[in-house]
């Protein structure tokens, strides 16, 4: 707990001024504040240049570990997706791994995409599902669809459902109350047998063990269209903080070594609009060869 709080506090100190310049914020509510980690955290207000706003409640680490805070890599990936898929998201089906607060998935859904957010059960309960409920109107206005499901990497049964059926059965869906209209909203992932076009994840590796599980999971999911005989190739887009992430080097080496299976591209800064780039964040695109 202390090391986690210390890392978040260090991020605040080093990056707040930079983010204020890059993203034009008067006040950046970044990760955990200097307050005690058991206190309720401030809301992270994300204003997109595409015209929508989402408001993300951050949670204490005791409930969600790293999944309760907004991270630099998530902001970077959300903005990259907005730039690249602003006019095509409405025709796409996207899966997010390790959604946490939901910043990336909600951003894509607000562009009109069919978005499935997944994470560990406790993160879904305390963070992801609550933020989806709070921002459902923004998703509706954008013409998107949003689903929330529990998914642990390495769960081969659920991996098969996601890869071959394009969803999880209703027993895995999450029922939450909308803070906006008081109705029960079911975030079920319909098994349409239509594979995902896009898989995304941001800053999800914190150990070699999770790196190994992630590699196995994404390799299988990337094969979903081939396994179902669906034309086209799925793409995986990842964003990571380059500084001191245990397991990240192993993961990157692994996908680069699999060159007979995977085509890996580091997204250059000039592929993103000026002001959308954090120097310590890397974005990768991965496809099957």
Show the CA angle centred on residue 165, arms to residues 283 and 78, nearest 5°: 25
pLDDT of residue 180: 31
pLDDT of residue 232: 84
Would the pTM count as exceeding 0.85? Answer: no
Could you tell me which of 216, 204, 222, 207 has the C-alpha nearest to residue 105?
204
pLDDT of residue 179: 30
pLDDT of residue 43: 85
pLDDT of residue 272: 82
Could you tell me which of 239, 234, 282, 281 has the C-alpha nearest to residue 262?
234
Beta bridge partners of 184: 177
pLDDT of residue 35: 40
pLDDT of residue 59: 77
pLDDT of residue 14: 64
d(CA 126, CA 109): 20
What sign results for the dihedral spanned by CA atoms 243, 103, 108, 129? positive
Neighbouring C-alpha atoms within 13 Å toward the C-beta of 98: 26
Mark the ranges of the chain whose per-residue pLDDT is less than 70.
Answer: 1-5, 8-41, 60-64, 164-193, 244
pLDDT of residue 213: 93
Q: Cβ contacts of residue 49 below 8 Å, gap of 6+?
A: 79, 82
Domain 38-288 has CATH 3.40.50.720: no
């Amino acid at each position: 707990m202390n090391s986690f709080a210390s890392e978040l506090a260090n991020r605040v100190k080093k990056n707040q001024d930079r983010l204020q310049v890059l993203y034009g914020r008067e006040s950046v509510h970044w990760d955990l504040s200097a307050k005690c980690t058991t206190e309720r955290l401030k809301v992270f207000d994300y204003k997109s240049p595409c015209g929508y706003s989402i408001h993300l409640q951050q949670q204490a680490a005791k409930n969600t570990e790293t999944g309760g805070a907004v991270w630099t890599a998530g902001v970077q990936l959300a903005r990259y997706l907005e730039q690249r898929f602003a006019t095509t998201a409405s025709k796409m089906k996207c899966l997010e791994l390790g959604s946490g607060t939901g910043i990336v998935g909600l951003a894509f859904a607000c562009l009109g995409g069919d978005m499935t957010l997944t994470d560990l059960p406790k993160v879904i309960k305390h963070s992801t599902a609550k933020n989806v409920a709070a921002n459902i109107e923004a998703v509706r206005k954008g013409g998107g669809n949003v689903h929330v499901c529990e998914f642990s990497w390495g769960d081969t049964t659920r991996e098969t459902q996601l890869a071959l059926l394009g969803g999880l059965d209703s027993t895995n869906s999450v029922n939450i109350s909308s803070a906006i209209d008081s109705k029960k909203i079911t975030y079920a992932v319909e098994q349409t047998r239509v594979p995902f076009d896009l898989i995304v994840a941001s800053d999800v590796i914190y150990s070699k063990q999770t790196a190994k599980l992630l590699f196995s999971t994404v390799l299988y999911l990337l094969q979903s269209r081939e396994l179902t005989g669906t034309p086209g190739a799925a793409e995986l887009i990842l964003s990571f903080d380059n500084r001191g992430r245990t397991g990240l080097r192993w993961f990157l080496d692994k996908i680069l070594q699999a060159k007979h299976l995977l085509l890996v591209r580091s997204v250059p800064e000039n592929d993103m609009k000026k002001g959308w780039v954090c120097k310590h964040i890397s974005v990768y695109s991965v496809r099957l060869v």
